[in-house]
């Protein structure tokens, strides 16, 4: 069974700080997703990674397949970045099937 662990569970930062959220998983995966969920519930996909690093604006996501670990970084954080950040991994579940398993999320609060 694949476990997905995120740390920290909660994170409070001051505007402008550099933020790192971590995700570790226990089995081989074919892809890892970072999702953002704002208060009010809507979920948006930020990144999908299978190797290396991706950057979009102030957000950077990295993955180390050998260490089964991914990080999401936010540079120059802003109060509008306040949200729950969720890591999800796509892994083989038997036959020709794949499943998504989610971490429990990291609640980020950025204060002005």
Partner 1 sequence: EAQVTQNPRYLITVTGKKLTVTCSQNMNHEYMSWYRQDPGLGLRQIYYSMNVEVTDKGDVPEGYKVSRKEKRNFPLILESPSPNQTSLYFCASSIDFGGNEQFFGPGTRLTVL
DSSP letter for 85, please: E
Name residue 8's beta-bridge partners: none
- The yes or no reply on residue 21 touching partner 1 (CB under 8 A) is no
- The yes or no reply on residue 88 touching partner 1 (CB under 8 A) is yes
- The yes or no reply on residue 44 touching partner 1 (CB under 8 A) is yes
What are the Cα distances from residue 34, in Å, to 9, 62, 96?
15, 10, 24
- The yes or no reply on residue 105 touching partner 1 (CB under 8 A) is yes
Q: Could you tell me which stretch among 15-23, 61-69, 72-80, 102-110 binds partner 1 (CB under 8 A)?
A: 102-110
**Residues of the shown chain interacting with partner 1 in the complex, contacts defined by CB under 8 A:** 30-31, 33, 35, 41-45, 48, 50, 86, 88, 90, 97-105
């Amino acid at each position: 069974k694949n476990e997905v662990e995120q740390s920290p569970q909660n994170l409070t930062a001051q505007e402008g700080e550099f933020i790192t959220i971590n995700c570790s998983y226990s089995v081989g995966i074919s892809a890892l997703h970072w999702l953002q969920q704002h208060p009010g519930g809507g979920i948006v996909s930020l990144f999908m990674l299978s190797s290396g690093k991706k950057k979009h604006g102030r957000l950077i996501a990295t993955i180390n397949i050998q260490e089964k670990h991914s990080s999401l970084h936010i540079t120059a954080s802003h109060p509008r970045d306040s949200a729950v950040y969720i890591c999800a991994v796509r892994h083989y579940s038997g036959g020709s099937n794949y499943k998504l398993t989610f971490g429990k999320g990291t609640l980020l609060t950025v204060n002005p």
